[in-house]
Each structure stands twice: as C-alpha cells, then as structure tokens.
Structure 1
Amino acid sequence: MTYILSIETATKNCSVSVSLDGKTIACKEIAENGYSHAEKLHVFIEEILSENNLTFKDLKAVAVSQGPGSYTGLRIGVSAAKGLCFSLQIPLIAIDTLETLARQLEVDNGTIVPMIDARRMECYTAFFDSQHQKTREIISEIIDADSYKDIDAVMHIIGDGAEKCKTVLTDSKFIFHDDIVFPSAKDMNAPAYEKFQKKETVDVAYFEPFYLKDFLIVK
C-alpha cells in the first residue's frame, strides 16, 4: 500500500490530500483572499493524517506543487514538503501546477488552457489535450485580443486568471469554465503515484520551485 501526501500551495488555495495507490482518500483545503498557507498548512497535514488513522511513518512519499504560481505560497509548500521528506527519509515528487489545474476538467475535444493569474493582464499558461497531456510548454504571457488567433480549435479556459481575460477573448471558440478556479491537491494524486512507480523523484536538498519569472521587489 502506497500512501502519498500531496501539497498544493501555488495559489490562494491551501490544499492537502492523502492518497492510497493513486486514489484520493481525503482532501482538506481553503481558499482565502489573504494567503493563510503559513497558518493552515501544517495544521491540515496533521489533521488529515489523524482523521484517516495514519501517521507520518505510513507515508511512502510527499508530492508538492512545483509552480508556477505565488512565490510565497510555493516556498511555504516546498519547504514543508522537503522538511517531511528529509526527516522521514522518503522521496519528494514534483508536480506541474498547471497540469494539476488542467486535470479538473474533462473534455471530449479541444484544448484545455489553465491560467494562473500573474497580475495585470499576464498569466502563466500551458496547453493540454483531452488526455491531460501537455501540448505546449508553460509560458508567462500577456493576454490580449490577438492571443490564440492562429488556433482554430475550441479552447477551454480555466483558472484564477481566466476571469480577467473574458473581455479580450470573445471569440466563440473560447469556453470559460468559471467553476474551476484553483488547483487542488486531490488532482495531484494520480500523477504523483505514476511518478512514484517510475521513481521520477527530485533531489530533496537541491529542488527549487519553478517560479518562471524572477522575483522583483517594488515600492
């Protein structure tokens, strides 16, 4: 039996789940306007294990959202995951945040475009097909009326960056799924288990979040 703890803190959603052989058995999460990850994350981890009669020693690995997303949120999640893996001597698995978001949507055709807000009209985006396979790599892009004009396929837009794009992405090929806003740890479990089986883990000592953009301090 392979129990994996998954941690998702790349956006406003502070999310923790635990899975057995890739199947989610429990998830605790909260999305607040003010980031509460530092206060809630470790509490959620302890609670989800206790409520499911598990201990830290039952865990075979920890999966963490690698980004892109909030600099502070990513640092909090990765620090917690690395601390657990180091102390328990178990592997660390990194999961693409945009893939986690894309996995919330099931479609028969078209392209899934998860968007994570990067302020103003900029978003972190990638393309996924109906099988949640990545068809375009992650980039940070400014969305305007000319975005995706060269694409004829239906485009399913999700994420917390989607709302602000409605005013410029007005073609009928764009379908907005307003109910999917934040990535959730529960959608990390299947890919995390796949990576665990393939031994696709990262170095606990040297792993860093995928920020995509440099951190800038402004007045």
Structure 2
Amino acid sequence: MLILSVESATSAASVAILNEKGVLGESTLNFKKQHSVILMTLIDTILKDNNLTIKDIDGFVVSKGPGSFTGLRIGMATVKGLCLGLNKPLISISTLDGLAYNELNFNGIICPIMDALRDNVFTAFYKNENGTLKKLSEHNHVSVNELVNKIKDFDEPVIFVGDGIEKHKAFLTENVENCSFASITNNFAKASSLGALGKELLEKGIHDNLNECKPMYLRKSQAEREYDKKMELSNNED
C-alpha cells in the first residue's frame, strides 16, 4: 500500500511516501515559506523522485493539528482535494501523536510540546507499550506551569520533543526531575512519523469521512479571541 503523508501544522512543511517496506522518501522544508506556495511542489517532487504519479497513491495521511491555523487549513484542503479527485481514503493524525512517534523507543514518558504562545503549549503524554505508541492523556492546551504539575503525576523519566523546547528548555530543566530532550533531528513534526501511524490505520480499513474531517485547533484563533473580547466589552457597556 502506497501512502502519501503531509504535515503542515508547524513552520516546517513535510511530505513523505511510505509502503509496506518503510519510508520511500521524505522532503521537509523549514524555512518559514508559505505552505500554500511550497506544499504542492514538495508533493510533485517526491512523486517524481520515486517514479510515481499521484494516481499510484493508495491512501493519504494528513496532520489535523494542533498547530498553525493557516498551515493546517492549507494541508487539510490540499489532501482532501486530492482524495476527492482520486477517490482515495484519508486518515488525519494529530501532530502531537506524530511528534511522540519520533521518540517511540524512549523508555519512559514521551511528552511532545508545541509552542502555543504566551507561555502555553499544546501537549499530551505517551508511552511505548510493546512497540506501540500508547496515549496516556487527552491533547491539551496548558501553561508550562500546568504541564510541570501534570508531569509530577508520573514517577518516570520524561523526554520532551517539539518546537516548544527552544523557548521552555531552561524552565523545564530546572523544574522537572529526570528529564531529557529530543535531538534536533527528531525535534520537528515529520510526515514520515505521521504517515507510519496513519498507514497502520488505513491498512485496517480505518479512514475519515471527508465531509467531517477537520483540523483540531484546541484553542480559538486570534480573530475569535478578539471578537469575544469585543463582544464582552459591548455587553458590559449595555
């Protein structure tokens, strides 16, 4: 089964092709270029490099977030369009799941953290259970202080992975015992990790309803927050 995977939840745009033997190719560009400009080019290039056409793909995997509102919409719209045109199945996978998969072999708690601004992160807790990624919590949008308190519930080593490390590494090192951090090669969202998780589901016949598939944001957009604040002020004036 040939799988095309697309990850667009962060500043890095990543695409990968996988089959039953593993990853055939992966292309990632983390240069803060607009996903709308580079995503289709990355897809076209990786197909050509593998002597494939889009019609050869049997199923698609796409990130559903959390992450960049714009990036998620672009990735989701692109892949849903391809699925509709080709009548192929789609499965959406959380970016947090994909990040955790980067560190699947870690013996302890795997904690992806994605920067959500204002000292907040998107996060969840995972563990390797017999070679399978087991989720120990729901996906959350929390402050770094809340994250530290939640981690104290686990009496195990913990590894952090994700773009939130750059901003919060010093604080986490000081406040979390027995913690470590992913290497720079594993510290970003990879289409290959996302694809590996999605491939397992697609091979079992599990896929999303294209009409219902949508991004998972976990928090309101800035425009929505400003609108809510404006309405609150307006109601108070009344």
Asked whether the two chains share a fold, i.e. TM above 0.5, the reply is yes
| Residue 50 (structure 2) pairs with residue 45 (structure 1) | no
Partner of 1:118: 116
Offset at 1:175?
1.2
**Residues 216 and 40 of structure 1: CA distance in aligned 2, closer, same or farther (over 3 Å):** same
Offset at 1:108?
4.5
**Residues 77 and 22 of structure 1: CA distance in aligned 2, closer, same or farther (over 3 Å):** farther
Could you tell me how far apart the structure 2 residues matched to 1:144 and 1:178 are? 23
Compute the TM-score of the two structures, normalised by the length of structure 2: 0.85
Could you tell me how far apart the structure 1 residues matched to 2:70 and 2:124 are? 22
Partner of 2:98: 100
1:132 partner letter: L
| Residue 183 (structure 2) pairs with residue 184 (structure 1) | no
| 1:170-189 alpha-carbon deviations (Å, 9 max, x no partner) | 13322122423211101122
| Unaligned runs of at least 5 residues, structure 1 | none
Could you tell me how far apart the structure 1 residues matched to 2:222 and 2:106 are? 40
Could you tell me how far apart the structure 2 residues matched to 1:173 and 1:152 are? 9
Could you tell me how far apart the structure 2 residues matched to 1:123 and 1:196 are? 30
**Residues 149 and 10 of structure 1: CA distance in aligned 2, closer, same or farther (over 3 Å):** same
Q: Which protein is richer in helix relative to its size?
A: 2
Offset at 1:35?
4.0
What aligned pairs does 1:175-214 form with structure 2 within 5 A after superposition? 175-179=180-184, 180-214=186-220
| CA RMSD of superposed structures (Å) | 1.8
| Unaligned runs of at least 5 residues, structure 2 | 228-238
Could you tell me how far apart the structure 1 residues matched to 2:106 and 2:159 are? 11
1:111 partner letter: I
Partner of 1:167: 170
Could you tell me how far apart the structure 1 residues matched to 2:215 and 2:33 are? 18
| 1:91-114 alpha-carbon deviations (Å, 9 max, x no partner) | 111112111111111444210000
Per mean C-alpha deviation after superposition, the further-off stretch among 2-11 and 198-207 is 198-207
**Residues 177 and 191 of structure 1: CA distance in aligned 2, closer, same or farther (over 3 Å):** closer
Could you tell me how far apart the structure 2 residues matched to 1:22 and 1:67 are? 27
**Residues 196 and 160 of structure 1: CA distance in aligned 2, closer, same or farther (over 3 Å):** same
